[in-house]
Amino acid sequence: MAELLGGGTRRTGMIDTAGGRLRAGLVSWGNNTFPYIDAKSRQIVMGKPGQSYQIRLENRSRRRQEVVVSVDGLNVLTGGAATYSQRGYVINPKSAVTIDGFRVNDDKVRRFEFSSVAASKAAQQGQDRNVGVVGLAVFEEDEAKATMMLRKEQFQREDASAFPVSGR
């Protein structure tokens, strides 16, 4: 793939994204980051067929971030076609999250695995155009809006009553 793009530079470690506010990488289950090739503003991770991986996201900013993550064009939370308007992982400032695989339900995930196009989950759904692509849509929290929403909720609770209908 890198050769098709005109070559590239082999690198290790996490990849800076979102203007350096987020670092991302594919890691093994032993928490080792897979090497990648930087080729024409694309990062091509080098894995072997059948090898499982996790996605590691590190929020380097001072704001909460919501990151919608897709693998092979599928949202990792729903398994359906990914869009920017879907929900994602909320990552607190200066913290990280590791995504183990496609979410099946609240307790179970289907591990991510390097494979051929034909063996991919996307191909099984007839959506194999984006196989091999990991996508991230990063949204930072609007602190002013969040503060106003919190204040609005506090005002609503000022007159709250534990027993709103009393028999007296």
pLDDT in tens, the chain (168 residues): 656 666 678 888 899 999 999 999 999 988 899 988 888 778 888 888 899 999 999 999 999 999 999 999 999 999 988 999 999 999 999 999 999 999 999 899 999 999 888 888 788 888 888 888 999 999 998 777 777 888 888 888 887 888 878 665
Provide the whole-model pTM: 0.80
Residue 3 pLDDT: 61
Helix (H), strand (E), coil (C) string for the chain: CCCCCCCCEEECCCEEEHHHCEEEEEECCCCCECCEEEECCEEEECCCCCCEEEEEEEECCCCCEEEEEEECCEECCCCCECCCCCCCEEECCCCEEEECEEECCCCCEEEEECCCCCCCHHHHCCCHHHCCCEEEEEEECCHHHHHHHHHHHHHHHHCCCCCCCCCC
Residue 6 pLDDT: 64
Residue 42 pLDDT: 83
